[in-house]
Amino acid sequence: MIQTLPITEARKDLTSLVNDARNKLNEYVITVNGSPAAVLISATEYDSWKETMEIMADPTLMAAIREGEEDIKAGRYYDWEDVKKELGLNDVQDKNNS
């Protein structure tokens, strides 16, 4: 849930806001004189956002993602059951269950 609040209110409730951001994944836009100035999000959300931005900034990774998406659309992929069969993992699992 995204909430907007003035910095004076954020200052008073900072501990509660941080706990809600961490535990409930709440997001807060903090304003100064009515204009957005900062955003408070959980560290987990921030890390995820940073990682996404790094991937999107890497042309090689983005090309690989696009290629993978095209392969899936064209049916050029193996499902997990096929991979296990190819690697003989079903046989190992069957032996362990016996």
* pLDDT tens track for 20-40: 999 999 999 999 999 999 999
- CATH match of 2-43 with 3.90.1150.10: no
- At 1 the pLDDT is 78
Q: Where do the structural domains in the chain lie, given as residue ranges?
A: 2-43, 58-91
- At 98 the pLDDT is 56
| Mean pLDDT taken over the chain | 93
| pTM: predicted TM-score of the whole model, two decimal places | 0.67
CA-to-CA distance for 29 and 21, rounded, in angstroms?
Answer: 12
Residues in CB range of 34: below 8 A, 6 or more apart = 6
Per-residue pLDDT of the chain (98 residues; tens, 9 = 90+): 799 999 999 999 999 999 999 999 999 999 999 999 999 999 999 999 999 999 999 999 999 999 999 999 999 999 999 899 989 997 655 566 65
